[in-house]
Structure 1
Amino acid sequence: MHADIVDLREFYHSQLGRLASHSITMALSSIWARLPEERLIGLGYAIPYLERFREDTERTFAFMPAGQGAVNWPPGELSSTALVFDEELPLPDASIDRILMVHSLEYAENPRETMKELWRVLAPGGRLVIVVPNRRGVWARMEHTPFGSGRPYSRRQLTALLRETNFTPGAYADALFFPPSKLRSVLKLRGIFERLGRMLWPMFAGVIVVEAQKRLYQGLPVAVRASRRVFVPVLAGHGVPTTRKHAKSAAPTQGLDNPQLHR
């Protein structure tokens, strides 16, 4: 079940939400390679992050799942928002350069079908950037934030899903090392938590950020061929020793008793 659009807006308008978006934006910036005149789509609730990266794009859309709901974006301009089903995007094949998934993959009913649909609309060499709750992190266990619902992932699970759906995983980044507390005294120490977390407990980050590239060619399974070699045992049997001795001793006697051998 998707997070409600009202809850998402309230979270990102709170102090905790603004600090969380800043931490995630910094992680995105570390792996975000700029593409000139690219077509960018945000799937899920990616509005807080699209504002940062849409400056160099040809066009940017905000696709929001039907189960979540949608809001108008950007404010004061022509709407670039669409209410969609993540397994049936209203786009032609190979028409998008980059997709940013935030608050999306963890709510997908069928993650593999969703990933296959993203593969379809991405152009050759297109990039997919996913922000997903970390299974080991504290944020995935706190329900007062959007990262505490849905299905969290580990790096290994993300890598396996990407490879199964014809994506090549690339750079990884982590964010949200500070605890998801609403106390101002804790939030004031956010910078210290972020610096210490990256050095001491990177595996316990709140979210995982991964960039993957669309793979055009998929390896096909090769059937195992049966070997045609014939293996002969080194210690092959040579008969019973008593039988061989009996046969050697009996051979001269049989030859002398044969009258044809004396002619």
Structure 2
Amino acid sequence: MHLDVLDLRNFYYRTRLGRVAQRVIRQQLLAFWPEAQNQTVAGFGFAVPLLRPYLRQARRVVGLMPGPQGVMAWPAGMPNISVLCDETHWPLETGSVDKLVVLHGLETSEDPVSLLDECWRVLGPGGKAIFVVPNRAGLWARRDKTPFGFGRPYSLGQLEALLKRQGLTPERHVAALFAPPSETRFWLRAGPFMERIGQSLPQSRAGGVLLVEARKQMPKPVGLKSAASRRKRLRALDPLPHPEAKPV
């Protein structure tokens, strides 16, 4: 179940907790990808809060928002580069994306395998994606006052196994949001300290969200079929219709 774009916008841009979450996750993203000079950067789900640093240097930036979620114009005060799309059919050419960010896209998808097929399709050879998902063991997945309390949370092992099965090779990971998802002044002020402490803990257990970087595997592993081809193969196994009775 996708969240409503208005709820996501209000959280990230109009609440103190959302602005803190945006800053912390973006810092981790920039630690992985400090620049995207002359590259194509795409975001799916509600990834636009993380994409602003790439607007001036990337060749192209596009924010893809799934139909059930809805779309909003972004960035504010500039020509719009966000687009409404089908979750598993994006208006991007095959192999056209250098860097892909997925936030509030995978855990809320009704068909994560087909979604990852589409991620694989649009990435160019050697292209990379970062998936930001709620950590199954973290506090943020257990409270529905933030967008990370909805959908399907993942453990690190679950997410990496899913990515590998779809031809996306995990390379690096990090956790973020170690402070509780609280609007109280104490925890908001303690956030930076908690993030520093959190980096010294077993990250897959302590952080509220996981960021996993994966590279497109080329060629696609032998025997790995797309979701569409799997559905077609399953239909071939359906029982034949019952033959009509012959007249006596």
1:163 — aligned with what? 164
Deviation at 1:86, TM superposition (A): 1.8
Deviation at 1:197, TM superposition (A): 2.0
C-alpha distance in 2 between matches for 1:219 and 1:121: 17
Runs of 4+ in 1 over 4 A off after TM superposition: none
Does residue 7 of structure 1 match 2:7? Answer: yes
C-alpha distance in 1 between matches for 2:32 and 2:212: 8
Paired residue secondary structure (1:105): coil
Deviation at 1:191, TM superposition (A): 2.0
2:94 — aligned with what? 93
Q: 1:107 is aligned with what amino acid?
A: T
Paired residue secondary structure (2:141): helix
1:52 — aligned with what? 53
C-alpha distance in 1 between matches for 2:124 and 2:193: 41
2:213 — aligned with what? 211
Deviates more, 1:74-83 or 1:158-167: 74-83
Deviations 1:119-166, CA, capped at 9 Å, x for gaps: 111111111111111000000001000000010111111111111001
Cα distance 1:219–1:40, how it changes in 2: closer, same or farther (>3 A)?
closer
1:111 — aligned with what? 112
Paired residue secondary structure (1:88): coil
C-alpha distance in 1 between matches for 2:201 and 2:143: 22
C-alpha distance in 1 between matches for 2:24 and 2:97: 26
Cα distance 1:200–1:78, how it changes in 2: closer, same or farther (>3 A)?
closer
Q: Which runs of 5+ in 1 are unaligned?
A: 222-263
Identity over aligned residues, as a percent?
A: 40
**Would the aligned equivalents of 2:167 and 2:221 in 1 still touch at CA under 8 Å?**
no
C-alpha distance in 2 between matches for 1:139 and 1:67: 23
**Would the aligned equivalents of 1:30 and 1:173 in 2 still touch at CA under 8 Å?**
no
**Would the aligned equivalents of 1:31 and 1:173 in 2 still touch at CA under 8 Å?**
no
Deviation at 1:195, TM superposition (A): 2.0
C-alpha distance in 2 between matches for 1:117 and 1:189: 39
Q: 2:11 is aligned with what amino acid?
A: F
Deviation at 1:110, TM superposition (A): 0.9
Q: Give the TM-score normalised by structure 1.
A: 0.80
Q: 1:99 is aligned with what amino acid?
A: L
C-alpha distance in 2 between matches for 1:219 and 1:3: 33
Q: 1:11 is aligned with what amino acid?
A: F
Number of positions where the alignment pairs a residue of Structure 1 with one of Structure 2 = 221
C-alpha distance in 1 between matches for 2:67 and 2:220: 32
Q: 2:211 is aligned with what amino acid?
A: V
1:62 — aligned with what? 63
**Would the aligned equivalents of 1:73 and 1:79 in 2 still touch at CA under 8 Å?**
yes
Q: Which runs of 5+ in 2 are unaligned?
A: 224-248
